[in-house]
Amino acid sequence: MGRTTPTSVNVKTPRALAGLALVTLLAWNVGAQDRPLTFGVLNQQSASLTAERWNPILHYVSTTSGIPLQLRMGPTVEDTDAMMGRGEFDFVFTNHNFQSEFEGVGYKARWSGEPIRGVIAVPTDSPIRELRQLAGRRVAFPSRDAFAAYAVPLLALKRAGVTMQEVLAANQEGALAQLKARRVDAAAVNSRFLAQYEEREAVRFRTIFVSEAYPDLAVIAHPRLPAAVVERIRNALIGMKSDPAAAPVLALARSQGFDPATDREYDGVRRVYRAIGQ
């Protein structure tokens, strides 16, 4: 799609470059007073709900780290991915970077709590009870770039020999909204989002497919950032779990906080993307 692959992030600054890193950080501190760093968030729900969840988190991290952050996202998943590919984000919360075209970025922290699973849900009174019954049916997905809500269920459908009608709903909220309105026969989302949507909308769905577990989305950093800046943001995110001042922020976001993330944790994510040609 003509996107530019970000280069690798080196999070370990050699001792010989420690002085240079300090100079770079000091220079950044001077310039950063006029420009907050951009923090991109993948379009899993509407812009207003994303802001409601993430702005308090970013305010906390900005205050704790001393580094101002500003939420930014494209109008669609594809736009946000393209912005990531062009390097328009300093940090971004996503797992689309594990597609081939986005490989080579660094992993700083991931959403805490239970792993996510790809699920396919139907109305509770639907006669559909297994994947093969989706043949020829309308199934909503957020986008073709999604991992747990597209790549994972699509691979399961292919392995079951099922050909269905894809309906792209822009984000996971849109996919479930279409299912709630009975405009589609089923919807593919991730398990965490399904539970949150059901609670918020006071609606229940029945799952006919639940995948194996995968690590939740990660926060990644652009390689142009000084290692010291990245580390301060990483420490602020991970430190939220143990800071009483962050408790109301996490409660509002319905989050348990953030955990350290490693490259190897996401090997399974890569394998799924490769299996569907991404």
Q: Is the predicted pLDDT of residue 107 greater than 70, yes or no?
A: no
Least confident of 156-165, 172-181, 221-230: 221-230
**With bands split at pLDDT 50, 70 and 90, how would you rate the model's confidence at 263?**
confident
Retrieve residue 61's tokens: 């991290």
Q: Is the predicted pLDDT of residue 6 greater than 50, yes or no?
A: no
Closest residue by Cα to residue 232 from 94, 95, 91? 91
Q: Is residue 270 part of a domain?
A: yes
Same domain, residue pair 147 and 261: no
Least confident of 15-24, 111-120, 190-199, 241-250: 15-24
Of 210, 236, 260, the position where a domain reaches its end is 210
What is the rounded distance in angstroms from the CA atom of residue 12 to the CA atom of residue 99? 24
Same domain, residue pair 123 and 99: no
Least confident of 29-38, 185-194, 208-217: 29-38
Q: Is the predicted pLDDT of residue 9 greater than 70, yes or no?
A: no
Convert the pLDDT of each residue in 36-70 to its tens digit. Answer: 999 999 999 899 999 999 999 999 999 999 999 99
Closest residue by Cα to residue 9 from 235, 232, 248, 225? 225
Same domain, residue pair 183 and 59: no
- Structurally, the chain folds into a number of domains equal to 2
DSSP-derived secondary structure for 151-200: IHHHHHHHHTT---EEEE-SSHHHHHHHHHTTSSSEEEEEHHHHHHHHHH
- pLDDT exceeding 70 applies to what percent of the chain? 85
Least confident of 63-67, 107-111, 164-168, 208-212: 107-111
Convert the pLDDT of each residue in 189-207 to its tens digit. Answer: 999 999 999 999 999 999 9
DSSP lists the bridge partners of residue 205 as: 123
Least confident of 11-20, 56-65, 166-175: 11-20
Closest residue by Cα to residue 223 from 34, 84, 75? 84
What is the rounded distance in angstroms from the CA atom of residue 277 to the CA atom of residue 200? 35
Q: Is residue 7 part of a domain?
A: no
Domain with 52 in it:
15-114+216-275
Q: Write the CA distances from 30 to 26, 33, 207, integer angstroms.
A: 7, 6, 52
**With bands split at pLDDT 50, 70 and 90, how would you rate the model's confidence at 108?**
low
Least confident of 17-21, 106-110, 153-157, 230-234: 17-21
Of 210, 235, 251, the position where a domain reaches its end is 210
What is the rounded distance in angstroms from the CA atom of residue 85 to the CA atom of residue 44? 18
Q: Is residue 143 part of a domain?
A: yes
**With bands split at pLDDT 50, 70 and 90, how would you rate the model's confidence at 261?**
confident
Same domain, residue pair 123 and 179: yes
The CATH number of whichever domain residue 30 belongs to comes to 3.40.190.10
Retrieve residue 38's tokens: 């951009």
Same domain, residue pair 196 and 172: yes
Of 180, 210, 240, the position where a domain reaches its end is 210
pTM of the shown model: 0.80
Same domain, residue pair 107 and 129: no
Q: What is the mean pLDDT of residues 74-78?
A: 93
